[in-house]
Chain A
Amino acid sequence: MFRNSPEQAIKERVLAVQEYSLLAGEAVANLARRPRYLSDMILQADFIGFGSLPIVGLTGLSIGAVLALQTSTTLQQFGSVSLTGQLVSFSMIKEIGPVLTSLMLAGRAATGMASELGSMKVTEQIDAMRALGTDPVKKLVTPRVVSTVIMLFFLTILSDLMGLLGGYIVASGRLGLSTQQYWTSTYQQLQFPDVFQGLLKPFFFGFIIATVGCYYGVSTKGGTQGVGRSTTQAMVASSVLILIVDFFLTQLLIWIFGR
């Protein structure tokens, strides 16, 4: 349902894309400009990275365990239960680890950014910052983008490891695989392109999470109701963008590496 005419609604969407692109571009360009607000980056890294450890660890562990359970039932039919570790590691490292961690972080960090910056916007704190001669994009957006990109990379590694551990718990506890059997199969077939794919994706997803969260935050309108709306939109938009970008990025990487 369009609030205004369809033409007006389309113009608003195009304008939103333009504003998002400008904000994202400016956030990146600020990396070359001083001041760099290192303390703000560390503060954000603590919130985004350290603060997300429990949820990311738990999700990775749980998904790894479930993957082992699900794949083992199929593998049992072919007498190949020993390949459980390989399937878990392929799935976790190449795809599920980065995507799931990103989606979890979108739920935690993108919404947090949208609500925090949105509250600042509606209470004129962002205008006050501009009035005090400080660039809010440099002070608020760039540190969040840098911290999210860096921390998501490490969170993904943690999630992958926890996933493998979850798989191991199931493999040794329920499937009767030995420790050596499981861990050997997890890394035996892994090649550089697989690990590279899994570790490249967080950089793109982290950028999406932070820029989308910040964009919805700084463009909040309409008081506290607007803050709520921005928070929801940030979650939905960043998740959808992550899934879309993941598809095309995977296609591209398969085309480049052939696997």
Chain B
Amino acid sequence: MGTSATTTNGHPPSTEVVLEFQDVELGFDRHLVLRGVSFQLHRGETKVLFGVAGSGKSVLLKLALGLLKPDSGTIIVLGEEVTSMTEQQLFGLRRRIGMVFQESALFDSLTVEENVAFRLMEEHLPRDEVRERVTEALRFVELEHTIDKFPAQLSGGMRRRVAIARAIITQPEIIFYDSPTGGLDPITSTTIVELLVKQRDVYQTSALMVTHRLQDGFTMATHRFDRQRGEMVKVKNSDVNTNTSFLILRDGKVIFDGTGRELAGSTDEYIKEYIS
């Protein structure tokens, strides 16, 4: 990318760091899952995290949310060091972050409306305002008609979209996506990726997306959301930066952290084989 590159929202890329891992290590049952992981995520940036199954991708997201504690190292999220915060302190921070779990993790005893509205209900917002914002969030994921259904009545792809609506309803500053297209058919996967691109380009939300599907990451990097047409389009102008970078984990270590162009030009044998 040229130095004059602008992001899809027309602004130069931000230098503000919203998430930082510093030499983070974590092990389970005497087996190290993450080994000295360090990287940064900037405001408005989307970082796609690649890695084979068991490479520690999901664990990394849980660490960033403070759902797990590292054995060593430091994690800073939105200027706060999560590694030294208590669970009670973390609840406040987590309200500024969105998370889409691998299997959606919708509350199966609640309706779609109650699931999406969960955080707003916890804040005791007026019922009318809650309903309006839930409808808006569901419209974003094109699932307005499912508002009164229960998660069990939805398909896997629909559940994933409801999970996205639940994550974005409060317009968080960062969103973590844990394999948002995992186990879905190609068409539904494209719908989900389009939603992520839309969220990135319309709201400029910083995001860390875990996936093992290369095409999802590359689509994120090579497409932008066209508001006029209301759909995702391929980026043609090389001056437009989709503000999407890549991180590759191998055996718990970061072996690549850079742009799509750098990834394509990598001479590392493992990376070449991985992206081929």
Chain A positions near chain B (C-beta within 8 angstroms): 35, 120, 123-125, 127-135
Contacts and interface: CB of A to CB of B under 8 A. Distances in A.
Contact of B88 (A123, A124, A131, A135): A135
Interface in B86-130: 87-88, 90-92, 94-95, 97, 99, 101-103, 105-108, 118-119, 122, 124
B107 A35 contact: no
B122 A130 contact: no
Contacts of B99: 128, 131-132
26 contacts: A123-B103, A123-B105, A124-B103, A124-B105, A127-B67, A127-B101, A128-B99, A128-B101, A128-B107, A129-B107, A130-B67, A130-B87, A130-B90, A131-B65, A131-B94, A131-B97, A132-B94, A132-B99, A132-B166, A133-B92, A133-B95, A133-B119, A133-B122, A134-B118, A134-B119, A134-B122
Contacts of B131: none
A88 B147 CA distance: 55
A91 B166 CA distance: 54
A66 to B, nearest CB: 39
B62 interface: yes
Contacts of A131: 65, 67, 94, 97, 99, 101
Contacts of B94: 130-133
A37 to B, nearest CB: 10
Nearest to A128: B105
Contacts of A135: 87-88, 91
A132 B107 CA distance: 12
A187 B191 CA distance: 72
A51 B107 CA distance: 23
Given A125-B108, A127-B62, A132 B118 contact: yes
Contacts of A123: 103, 105, 108
Contacts of A133: 91-92, 94-95, 119, 122
Interface of B: 62, 65, 67, 87-88, 90-92, 94-95, 97, 99, 101-103, 105-108, 118-119, 122, 124, 166
Contacts of B87: 130, 135
A127 B101 CA distance: 9
A134 B118 CA distance: 9
A128 B65 CA distance: 11
Interface centre among B62, B91, B124 (most CB of A within 10 A): B91
A125 B159 CA distance: 13
Contacts of A124: 101-103, 105
Given A123-B103, A125-B105, A127-B105, A132 B122 contact: yes
A35 B97 contact: no
A129 B166 CA distance: 11
A123 B104 CA distance: 9
A128 B91 CA distance: 12
Contacts of B88: 135
A123 B102 CA distance: 10
B190 to A, nearest CB: 25
A133 B66 CA distance: 11
A122 to B, nearest CB: 10
Interface centre among A35, A129, A133, A134 (most CB of B within 10 A): A133
A129 B121 CA distance: 13
B119 A132 contact: yes
A35 to B, nearest CB: 7
Contact of A125 (B67, B90, B107, B122): B107
Contacts of B107: 120, 125, 128-129
Nearest to A122: B103
A140 to B, nearest CB: 11
A134 B121 CA distance: 11
A241 B65 CA distance: 36
A135 B65 CA distance: 14
A129 B108 CA distance: 12
A126 B65 CA distance: 14
